[in-house]
Structure 1
Amino acid sequence: MTDVDVLVVGPTSENQIVLLDELPRPEPHTVFARSTTTALGGTSAGKALHLVDRGVATMLLTTQGDDATGEGLMDALRGCGIDLRAVRTDGPSERHLNLMSARGERVSIYLQAAGAIPEEELRRARATAREALAQARAVFLDLSELSRRLIPEVSALAHEVWVDLHDYDGEEAFHRPFLEAADVVLMNGDRIDAPSTYLRGLVADGKTLAVCTLGARGAIAVGPDGSFARVEAPKVDVVDPNGAGDAFAAGVMSHALRVGGAAALTGDALWEALEAGSAQAVRAITSRQLSPLLDAPRAPRP
């Protein structure tokens, strides 16, 4: 096994992205798209790409459908320098339709969910995770069935567990096992009331670090010592807002690794981590793909 600083576990998908002036109203009507593209997607693929872009040795443990689409997605990720381990699922690869507004709002529609994971593939995934966790400094556990099935291994072996709860509302049952396993919690503020209060509560309850992105209002965080930091959203010409949150998470994590882990993000280091996240988010939103690494020439398939 190659050197691994971070293990990322979770989904990769093919995304059809439709850019609109604004998201459709909840009533019958016709709208015209600004553009439509098909691209590599998936929250874990995005994090892995941006961690590699930050110079972090990254293994991605992800699902792959039994079709040519899945093969193409895996080849693209390997070509960007990711140590990729594919877990074969029954049926086609995961596919999404993302409706995007000019302001970066998104409605994601699952056209094809990831198929079931055969037991033999799950055994291989557990063995791969155990081997990677023996040397990885941290693991990013994304919301997915594969990740949920690996929570026992991650909880027992990981040095530091990062979890992205996305648009968690503070109550949804599906998120609870991930929240309980996490040392570091990231989320967005789309469905949570009083996000700063919620983050403070997470740290008071024993989490090392809690971070919430707020779209055009930037991002906030509460560090292990209870310190609070905020950054404004960068003012740039947005090409494609897809993947901004995953790039932000990768920037924060890479800075944490650089200074000794999430427990070291106190005082100025906490603000610097948010700044690193914002800088990496710019890399995503000024690219026409999930990461500018996907624009680089592909390496030959091993």
Structure 2
Amino acid sequence: MSTSPDVVCLGETMALVTAADGPLVSASSATIGFGGAESNVAAGLAAAGYRAAWASRLGADPFGDRIADDLRRRGVELRVERDEQAPTGVMFKDPGAEGSRVYYYRAGSAASRMSAGEIDAASLAGVRIVHTTGITPALSVSCREMVDALFSAAREAGALISFDVNDRRPLWPADEAARTLHRLADAADITFVGRDEAERIWGTETPDAIRAHLPGAALLVVKDGEVGATAYSGDDAPVFVAAPRVDVVEPVGAGDAFAAGFLAATLDGAPMAERLARGHASAGRVLRIAADLPPLD
């Protein structure tokens, strides 16, 4: 029996403060949780019954303690270094059904200090999928170098590379983001991208245009919100599955949930249409709540 997790997800997770009784400007109460694309995916995979690990750095502070404790209770295995010199990042959210405004305080965070030596091929032995997102290389030059090293280590270890473009516009210049995200998305074994974010980054307006822009991605999944998702795999005909109707409470985190559902189905060896359908189902569960993850019992 393998002692390795099925999936390793690498990236920053921050403390999340969400206004509870109105917008941040006037709210008198708030909830404290956490938010991080990669840890969301790890938690979703753990909930689906897979061994999922999350790799990152956290500050040696109460927010870091809280994040680590919550993820452990969700069944996520931690590969985390605690940084005595830098804090856990914090973000504040104004939630809303039409979209949330999020304010980040992550400059100089512990996770932004991650570097190319964080993970090597030996530490990925037996791992089936390595997952990260376009947020991670945007955090710092050293994080960008780490993602390149992660891709190389995953290849050497025989793991599939899963990459969610997940563009965060405020984090870096648009031209630098466009170049780096294209290079990484085109090199991954499984690439997730939103149709709207691809148009914003690269000017590609349709799923077919995105595929033409990313011909190197072995499996490309283009998500188009409430319309549905299209998968392009090698020379196979594209597979489209419509998104089910959902009464949206809050949209943030749905993309991560989709990735978790899709990757779980991939680990099962499910047909492409089922992978997309399970991605939609997973996203739908998060769209119906005002949080990135369901509450712990």
Corresponding position of 1:86: 80
Contact 1:51 1:58 in 2 (8 A): yes
Deviation digits for residues 98-136 of structure 1, max 9, x if unmatched?
333322x234321223335377xx64x32xx53442101
CA contact under 8 A between 1:186 and 1:211: conserved in structure 2? Answer: yes
Q: 5+ unaligned residues in a row in structure 1: which ranges?
A: 25-29, 261-268, 297-302
Counterpart-to-counterpart distance in 1, 2:28 and 2:224: 25
Distance across 2 between alignment mates of 1:226 and 1:202: 17
Question: Aligned partner of 2:151: which letter?
Answer: I
Query: Please, what TM-score do these two structures have when normalized by structure 2?
Result: 0.79
Matches within 5 A, 1:213-228: 213-228=223-238
Gaps of 5+ in 2: 137-142, 169-173
**CA-CA distance at 1:20 after TM superposition:** 10
Residue 238 of structure 1 pairs with residue 248 of structure 2: yes
What is the CA–CA distance in structure 2 between the aligned matches of 1:200 and 1:180, rounded to whole Å? 10
Aligned to 2:103: 109
For the structure 1 residues 174 and 42, does the alpha-carbon distance in structure 2 shift closer, same or farther, using more than 3 Å as the test?
same
CA distance in 2, matches of 1:174, 1:99: 29
Q: Is the 8 A contact 1:188 1:212 kept in 2?
A: yes
Amino acid of the structure 1 residue aligned with 2:255: G
* Percent of aligned pairs sharing the same letter: 27
What is the DSSP-based 3-state SS (H/G/I as helix, E as strand, rest coil) of the residue aligned with 2:49?
coil
Q: Within 1, Cα distance between the matches of 2:114 and 2:287?
A: 36
TM-score, normalising length: structure 1? 0.78
User: How much has 1:230 moved relative to structure 2?
Assistant: 2.4
1:133 to 101, 109, 124: 124
Which residue is equivalent to 2:51?
57
Contact kept in structure 1, 2:248 and 2:288, CA below 8 Å:
yes
Q: Which amino acid aligns with 2:8?
A: L
Aligned to 1:48: 42
| AA in 1 matched with 2:192 | L
Q: Is the 8 A contact 1:19 1:101 kept in 2?
A: no
Task: Give matches, 1:1-302, under 5 Å.
Answer: 2-18=3-19, 36-89=30-83, 90-103=85-98, 105-113=99-107, 114-115=109-110, 116-117=112-113, 123=117, 125-126=118-119, 129-143=120-134, 144=136, 145=143, 146-148=146-148, 150-167=150-167, 172-191=178-197, 192=199, 193-201=204-212, 205-259=215-269, 269-292=271-294, 294-296=295-297
Indicate the SS of the match to 1:222: strand
Q: Which has the higher contact order (CA 8 A, sep 6+)?
A: 1
Letter in 1 for 2:260: A
182 and 194 in structure 1: CA distance in 2 versus 1, 3 angstrom threshold: same
Tell me the residue number matched to 1:266. Answer: none
Write the distance in 1 (CA, Å) between the matches of 2:210 and 2:273. 15
- Cα offset, 1:162, TM superposition: 0.7
Query: For residues 20 and 185 of structure 1, what CA distance do their matches in structure 2 show?
Result: 37
